[in-house]
Structure 1
Amino acid sequence: MGKSNFYARRKGSLRRTVLLCGALSFLLTACTGRNPSQEEPLVLPDSLKLTAELPGEYPDQAKTYTVDWLEVEEETAVQALFKGETREWTQWAVGRQLLSEDEEVCESLLIYDGVVEGGLSYSYDTKDFSLGGVASYYPGYPDTMEQLNGYYGYHDMQDYATEGDLSFKGQSEASEEIEELLYACGFPQLQLQQAYLLDAKTMNEHLALYNEYRTQIQESREEYEFTQEDECYLFHHRQVLDGIPFANLIWTKGTRDMSTETVMYSLYGKNGILQIEARQFYEIQEPLSADAVISPEEAVAAYVEEYTKALQFEETEIFAVELNYIVMYDEGAMYAKPAWILSSKRKTQYEEATVDEYGVTAVSAVTGILIQNGTDLR
C-alpha cells in the first residue's frame, strides 16, 4: 500500500501567521492574567491547519503528583454491583472474576489486579445481539485498518445523538447513577466526557452495514431487529484531578511496555447497567511540585517546531487541544504530570482508499517539550 507524497516547499514560502481573535485574547487576559499579545505570533506552514478552538481558561499552575494503581475491594464491588448469587472467584492473568450464569443472563464482575490494574469490568448480558456490532465503545478515533477494511461504517458514532434523553430515563440521571456506584467501589472523582444515545433506528441502520460487511468476508448474517426495549446510553467518563481530566487517548510514540491512559465506558439500558469497563485508574498520593502552565499557543508552537523539521510535509490538521494529566513511570514509581494533548489528522492515500490517519501528541505543560513515551520525564 503506497502513500501519496506531499513535497515540502521552502520554509519561507510555507509560513503564514495565525492571529488569535480579540475575543480569545480578552478571555485569556481576563481569566488567566496572561496577555497573548505579549507572546510571539503563532506561525504555521501552509500544510498545517489549526482548527482547534484553543482553551481560553486554564489554570496558572498545575501540580505533579505521585500516584499508584487504584485498588478495588472485592466485597465492596460485589455489594455495589453484583446481583447474582454466585460467590466463587476465578483467578485470571488480568485479575479475579466472579461469574453468575443461567439460561437468560450472564453476569460478570472482574477486579483488575494482574497484568491489567486499576479498576474493574462489570457486565449484565442478556445474551441478545452484542452492541459491539453497531457501536464503538471506546473513546478515541478510528484507526487506519478499521477504515481500510470497510467496517468503520457500522462503528461511526457520529450517527448517534449526543444530546437529549431516551424514553426510560434521563441522560444525567443514568450517568450519575453509574458514577455513584463507582464511588461506592472506591473510585476517584469522575467527569462525564461524552454521551451517546443508542436509538433503535440508528442501531438497525448500523446492523445493516455490519451484515453487509459480514457478507463480504463470507460470514453469516446477524438476524436481529432492535426495538425501543434495546435502546441505551453509551457513556465515556474520565478520572479528574484539580479540575484536569486524565488522558484517555494513547499519546505515546512507538512501542511501550505499560499502558497508562485511563479507559472507561459504560452502557445503561432500560433495566439498568449493562456494562462498565473502567481500568487504569489511579490513587492520588503526594503532590511533588506546583509549576506554571504554559499556554496552549506555546504547546502548538512546540508541535509546529517539530513538524517543520520534517524533510517533507504532509497536510495535517490540529483539531483538538486540551490540558490533561498523563502518567509517567520510572524505577517503580508513577507520576501524574500536566500536559497539553494535541489531536491531529491527515489524509493518506492507500491503494484501497483515502483515509484519515489520526495522531495524538503530548506536550509537557511545564517545559513545553514533546513527550515521547511514559518514561520521558523531561
Structure 2
Amino acid sequence: MKPLVFLNYLILLLFLIACESSAETPDIPNNLVIKLDNNQEGSIETARIHTAAFINLNVDDVANQLLQAEVINKRTYAEGQQFETDGDIFKEYMLVYDGGKAFGESSGVNGGFNYSKYIKNENKHYQTVANLDPTSTNQSPPYALNSDYQTFNDLSFLPYDEAEQDVLETFSSVGIKNLQTEVIYSLDQKTMNTHSTQYMEAADEDETQTEWTAEDEAYLFFLRQAVDNIPLANFIWQTEARGVNEATETVITAIYNKDGDQQLSATGVYDILSSSQPQDIIDHKDALNKIVEHYSSTILTNETTIYEQDLYYVGVVDGENYKLIPAWVFQLVSKQTDDKGKEYDEYSYFVINAISGEKIKEAGE
C-alpha cells in the first residue's frame, strides 16, 4: 500500500472510531450526575411481551386459607368482599379485591387481597414505626425511615429465611406465586421505640406513646411478582396524572412476627394470558445513553442524579387487559427548593421500552 493511500486510510479509520465512540458515550449535560452502583453486565438479553389481566382470586379459598377465627361479618364493598373475624385473643380483617365486580361499580383496585390481624386491647400499629408502602417515592418522615433498620438480619424469635419461607408459602396457598424477595427489614425493639418517639413528635393528636417490646419485633417484607425472572414494577413509575385503569404497579408486602402473619397485602397481581416470542432488548449501556441524550436536549436547572437502573416489566393498558413490557427503569433524584427557600429531594422514574428504546410516559399509551 502506498504511503499516501495508507495515511488516508488511517485517518478515515480513526475518524470512524471517533464517531462510534461518540455515539456510544454522549456528552453528559450540565447538572446531570450519574451514580450507578449496580452492575448489569451479563443481564438478560431477550424478553417477551405478555398480555395479562389482573388475577381473579377465589374469595372462599382465600378465606379458608388465611382466616383463623370465626367469621362474624361479611360485607361487599366497592373494592371487593370483606371478612371480619373474632377470636379469643385477636381479630382479623380481610378484603379480597374484585375490581368492583360484586359491588357493581369499578373501583380500580384489583388482583389481590389485604389481610390484617390485631391483638385485642392493644394499640400497636407498625405503620407508625415503618414505611409499609414500597410505592412511596417522596422523602419519608423520620419515624418511617426504613433505612434505620437492618436488612436480612435475624431477629430472636425466628431466622429471617424461615419467616420468608412461611410468607412465600402463604401467598402461594392462595394462588399468588412466582415471587421474588426485594428486601426484608428487621424491625427491632430499639429502633421501633426510637421511631415511636419521632411519630409522637410529628402527630397532631394527643396520644399516649406506644411502648414496643421484644415480643413485637417483626420482619417487613417487600416482595415482587416475577415473569421470566424479570420483576414487575412495584412502584408508581408514571409521573403524569393517572386514570383508574392506569394503576398497573404490582405491590406485595407482609409483616411477620412471633405470632406469624400479621399483615399480608397484594394488589395488581397479574395472570398471564398469552406471550410473544422472545425479542432482543437493548443493553443497559444503550439504555443509559438514551436517557443522557434525552436530557441533552433539555435544560436542567437543578442537579439531577441517576442513581439506579434495573430491568422490570411495566404494565400498559391494552383494551380491557394489559401488556407487560420489558423496560429499563431509571431512578432519579433532583434538588428542589420550596417557596420558603428550603431544599428538598424530589424522586422520579424514567422508563425506557427495552425492545423499542422509546420512553414510556404513562400506562395508558
| TM-score for both structures, normalised by structure 2 | 0.86
1:175 Cα offset (Å): 1.1
DSSP-derived class of the 1:265 partner:
strand
1:171 Cα offset (Å): 0.6
Conservation of the 8 A alpha-carbon contact between 2:85 and 2:92: yes
DSSP-derived class of the 1:356 partner:
strand
Equivalent residue number for residue 85 of structure 1: 70
Conservation of the 8 A alpha-carbon contact between 1:141 and 1:358: no
1:90 Cα offset (Å): 0.9
In 1, Cα distance between equivalents of 2:180 and 2:238: 23
Between 106-115 and 229-238, the greater mean CA deviation after superposition? 106-115
Question: Residues 103 and 176 of structure 1: is their aligned pair in 2 closer, same or farther, counting only changes over 3 Å?
Answer: closer
Equivalent residue number for residue 195 of structure 1: 184
Equivalent residue number for residue 163 of structure 1: 152
Conservation of the 8 A alpha-carbon contact between 1:54 and 1:321: no
DSSP-derived class of the 1:43 partner:
coil
In 1, Cα distance between equivalents of 2:126 and 2:235: 22
Structure 1 residue corresponding to 2:32, chosen from 48, 52, 76:
48
Conservation of the 8 A alpha-carbon contact between 1:339 and 1:365: yes
1:131 Cα offset (Å): 1.3
Question: Residues 103 and 177 of structure 1: is their aligned pair in 2 closer, same or farther, counting only changes over 3 Å?
Answer: closer
In 1, Cα distance between equivalents of 2:317 and 2:230: 19
Segments of structure 1 that go 5 or more residues without pairing to the other structure are 1-35, 147-151
- The one-letter code sitting in structure 2 at the alignment partner of 1:172 is D
Structure 2 residue corresponding to 1:342, chosen from 326, 330, 344:
330
In 2, Cα distance between equivalents of 1:135 and 1:263: 16
DSSP-derived class of the 2:330 partner:
strand
Number of residue pairs the alignment of both structures matches: 332
Could you tell me the percent identity over the aligned residues? 30
Equivalent residue number for residue 114 of structure 2: 121
Question: Residues 223 and 375 of structure 1: is their aligned pair in 2 closer, same or farther, counting only changes over 3 Å?
Answer: closer
Equivalent residue number for residue 294 of structure 1: 282
In 2, Cα distance between equivalents of 1:38 and 1:175: 47
1:329 Cα offset (Å): 1.1
Structure 2 residue corresponding to 1:221, chosen from 207, 210, 228:
207
Equivalent residue number for residue 61 of structure 2: 76
Question: Residues 181 and 315 of structure 1: is their aligned pair in 2 closer, same or farther, counting only changes over 3 Å?
Answer: same
Conservation of the 8 A alpha-carbon contact between 1:54 and 1:297: no
- The one-letter code sitting in structure 1 at the alignment partner of 2:242 is R
Between 193-202 and 180-189, the greater mean CA deviation after superposition? 180-189
1:42 Cα offset (Å): 4.6
Conservation of the 8 A alpha-carbon contact between 2:197 and 2:209: no
Structure 1 residue corresponding to 2:219, chosen from 227, 233, 244:
233
DSSP-derived class of the 1:118 partner:
coil
In 1, Cα distance between equivalents of 2:347 and 2:247: 19
Question: Residues 312 and 37 of structure 1: is their aligned pair in 2 closer, same or farther, counting only changes over 3 Å?
Answer: closer
1:84 Cα offset (Å): 1.2
Structure 2 residue corresponding to 1:98, chosen from 83, 86, 96:
83
Between 164-173 and 72-81, the greater mean CA deviation after superposition? 72-81
Equivalent residue number for residue 175 of structure 1: 164
DSSP-derived class of the 2:177 partner:
coil
Q: Deviations over 1:215-246 (max 9, x none)?
A: xx4x2133221110000000000000111000
DSSP-derived class of the 2:298 partner:
coil
Question: Residues 352 and 80 of structure 1: is their aligned pair in 2 closer, same or farther, counting only changes over 3 Å?
Answer: farther
| TM-score for both structures, normalised by structure 1 | 0.84
In 1, Cα distance between equivalents of 2:56 and 2:73: 20
Structure 1 residue corresponding to 2:259, chosen from 246, 256, 271:
271
Aligned residues: CA RMSD: 1.9
Structure 1 residue corresponding to 2:231, chosen from 222, 245, 250:
245
1:274 Cα offset (Å): 0.3
Conservation of the 8 A alpha-carbon contact between 1:138 and 1:264: no
DSSP-derived class of the 1:306 partner:
helix
Q: Deviations over 1:75-103 (max 9, x none)?
A: 22122211011165210011101111367
- 4+ residue stretches of structure 1 with deviation over 6 A? 36-39
DSSP-derived class of the 1:45 partner:
coil
1:141 Cα offset (Å): 4.7
In 2, Cα distance between equivalents of 1:125 and 1:100: 11
1:54 Cα offset (Å): 4.2
Conservation of the 8 A alpha-carbon contact between 2:137 and 2:348: no
Question: Residues 38 and 184 of structure 1: is their aligned pair in 2 closer, same or farther, counting only changes over 3 Å?
Answer: farther
Equivalent residue number for residue 259 of structure 1: 247
Larger Rg: 1 or 2? Answer: 2
Question: Residues 107 and 352 of structure 1: is their aligned pair in 2 closer, same or farther, counting only changes over 3 Å?
Answer: farther
1:119 Cα offset (Å): 0.6
Q: Does 1:143 align with 2:138?
A: yes
Conservation of the 8 A alpha-carbon contact between 2:29 and 2:295: no
Question: Residues 42 and 170 of structure 1: is their aligned pair in 2 closer, same or farther, counting only changes over 3 Å?
Answer: farther
